[in-house]
Every structure is written in C-alpha cells, then in structure tokens.
Amino acid sequence: MWRFSASILLLSCLAVSLLAASSSAFGYSEATCSGIVPLRYRNDKISITDFGGVGDGRTVNTKAFRAAIYRIQHLRRRGGTLLYIPPGVFLTESFSLTSHMTLYLARGAVIRAVQVNFSALYFVITAILDFEIPIGMFASSLLVAIF
C-alpha cells in the first residue's frame, strides 16, 4: 500500500516539475507552485526592479515593494497586474498586498523578511506602561495595538 502511495506522490512531483520547467524567463506557466490552483492571467506586468528593487541579499527593498504595490493599486487595470520578482534574494520589511494583483516569484527568487529593531521602542513602552512586554513573535502586533 505504501509503495502505491509513494508512486503516486513521485508521479505528482514529476508532473509539477515538468510544468515549472516549461515557463520562460518572464512568462509563466498555467499552474501555481502547488500545481492545484491555476494561475490567473494578468494583462499588465511590472517588475520590482522597475521600482529600484535589488536582489543582492543585502539591500532592504521595502520602499520598492510598497511603491510597486501602490502603483498597482492606483492603476486599477482591468484584469489586474502581475508583480514580477526576478531571481535573487530580496530583503524587505512588511508590506500589504492589494486586490487584482498576482505576486509572481521567478525560479530562484526569495523574499526574505528583515526584523525591525524594537530595542529602543521596548524601553519607551515599558517606562510608560510600567510593566515588561515580552519581545517575541507577536511584538509588532502588540506594539501596533498599544499605539
């Protein structure tokens, strides 16, 4: 029984790999990385590099992501817009996605979150509230909720 399941899993992975290999450099295939939901075609395409994005793994690209998404949001193009992320490591703080867009990461593209330094803010809040706030995974949500 487990051999049959392993065979099905192997064939599924092979099929998804073949679909992914068929996409061109700026084009995209008709399947998402999960291979389950079809990728919606977008008429307009813009690249994060058009807004100053650099995928060198050192440059923080928050302004580029926010500017690109702001542009997509205000273009309001019929059929939506695809935001293309080329191969590379793009560091960024948080940003919000908008409706009618597709965030497309090319093969080899990574969006890596950078941590905001809360140390100075931590001391200000503890002095105001007179109790200690644990800085951890939910620190940003907690700090936003306080202010």
Total domains present in the chain = 3
Domain extent for 144: 116-147
Contact call for residues 65 and 97 (beta carbons, < 8 A): no
Same domain, 88 and 50: yes
Same domain, 106 and 51: yes
Instruction: Write the pLDDT tens digit of every residue in 44-72.
Output: 889 999 999 999 999 999 999 999 999 98
pTM given for the model: 0.56
When the pLDDT of each residue in the chain is averaged and rounded to a whole number, the result is 69
Same domain, 27 and 77: no
Instruction: Write the pLDDT tens digit of every residue in 78-134.
Output: 778 889 999 999 999 888 888 888 888 888 999 998 876 555 444 444 444 444 445
Helix, strand or coil for residue 34? coil
Same domain, 137 and 75: no
**What's phi and psi for 143, nearest 5 deg?**
-70, -40
Same domain, 71 and 122: no
Strand arrangement, sheet containing 44-47: 44-47, 81-85, 101-105
Same domain, 108 and 53: yes
